[in-house]
Amino acid sequence: MASAVRKHGGAVTFSVALHVALVALFSVGFDFTSSRTPAASQQLAIQATIVDESLVQREMERIQAAEREADERRQREEQAAQDAADTARRAVEEEQRRLDEVRQAREQAEQEEQRREIQLQEQRDREAAAQREREATAEQERLRLAELQREREAEEARQREAEKLRQEEAERQRLAEEQRQREEAERQRREEEARQRRLAEERRLQAEAEAELARVLAIEEERRNARDSGLLAEYIRLIQNRIQQNWSRPPSARPGLECEVNVTQIPSGDVVNVSIGRCNGDEAVIRSIEAAVLRASPLPRPAVQSLFERNLVVTFRPDI
């Protein structure tokens, strides 16, 4: 509204000035008519008393001319007043039209201002919505970037952990390889020592075997010589006689009794085990023979040590 007044300020000023001029014009016109006409009539009346007819006639004519002139002037003034009134009316109407235009312009301006305000508010609302959307988008982007950052940091942490594990695994494998190499070297050393021990043991065993073989050969030679000389047969007879001497013949023993007796002895001659093999006697005979062998312990020792045998098979024939 203020902008409309500023825009049409000249028209408003002109309208006010025109109204003031019309009021002044009407006041002057009416004063002129009322003041001049009575004065002229009074003057003519005064002169009529002192002049003749011709003068009166001329005066009347002059008066009439003056009146006509006054009438014409009055008419002109009235016409001018009318014209001025019409002009003023038209000016007023124009001013009213202009005021209406100003009012309409003001209303249009106000409507335009309201429309602009509405558009501006809508624009502000759209901008605010766009700003909120941008802020929301920015927040989402920030959250996305933060999530990406967290994922990147997590991935870097996983990679660091994987690299650490890889390095630890490489170190473990290196240490394991060193340990394996040490163990392999130790194994090879032990194997070499074991091989050397085996070689030494084999040499020792071979030497012992050779010595044992020589001893056995010597014993065998001695046994062969003892058998050939009858010492082995004598040794067996001594054992048989010792068993028979300790045997108590059971009632069930028949003539022609013959049994194989398996005897296990130690070098001192002490019997550690006895069992009966092939035998033609009954159970009582077998038990009596076993008891006789145990009572005969220790058995006679051979005249030649090489004739000693831990396990002997003696034929028990008490009737011979």
More confident residue, 47 or 93: 93
Return the structure tokens found at 203: 């040499």
Task: Evaluate the CA torsion angle 280, 281, 287, 288 in order and state its sign.
Answer: negative
pLDDT score, position 22: 52
Return the structure tokens found at 62: 């002059």
pLDDT at residue 74 greater than cutoff 70: yes
Residue 258's Cβ-count burial label (10 Å; 0-12, 13-18, 19+) is middle
How far from 161 is each of 120, 165, 175, 211, CA to CA, in Å? 58, 6, 20, 70
pLDDT at residue 14 greater than cutoff 60: no
What residue spans define the domains of the chain? 2-135, 230-316
How far apart CA 136 and CA 200 sit, in angstroms, is 90
Residues 59-84, mean pLDDT to the nearest whole number: 81
pLDDT score, position 18: 54
Backbone phi, psi, residue 298, to 5°: -75, 145
User: How crowded is the C-beta side of 47, counted as CA atoms within 13 Å?
Assistant: 16
Contact 288, 250 (CB under 8 A): yes
Mean pLDDT of the chain: 79
pLDDT-derived band at 292, boundaries 50, 70, 90: very high
pLDDT score, position 103: 80
How far apart CA 130 and CA 123 sit, in angstroms, is 10
Residue 278: CB atoms within 10 Å: 8
By residue count, the chain amounts to 320
pLDDT-derived band at 38, boundaries 50, 70, 90: very low
Residues 13-40, mean pLDDT to the nearest whole number: 46
How much is the pTM? Answer: 0.34
State how far Cα 303 lies from the chain centre: 98
How far apart CA 271 and CA 248 sit, in angstroms, is 18
pLDDT at residue 297 greater than cutoff 60: yes
How far apart CA 276 and CA 286 sit, in angstroms, is 7
Residue 316's Cβ-count burial label (10 Å; 0-12, 13-18, 19+) is buried
User: Tokens 């550690």 appear where?
Assistant: 272
Q: Is 267 helix (H, G, I), strand (E, B) or coil?
A: coil
Q: Is 316 helix (H, G, I), strand (E, B) or coil?
A: strand
Of all residues in the chain, what percent carry a pLDDT higher than 90? 13
pLDDT tens across 254-269, in order? 888 999 999 999 988 8
Instruction: Report domain 230-316's class.
Output: alpha beta
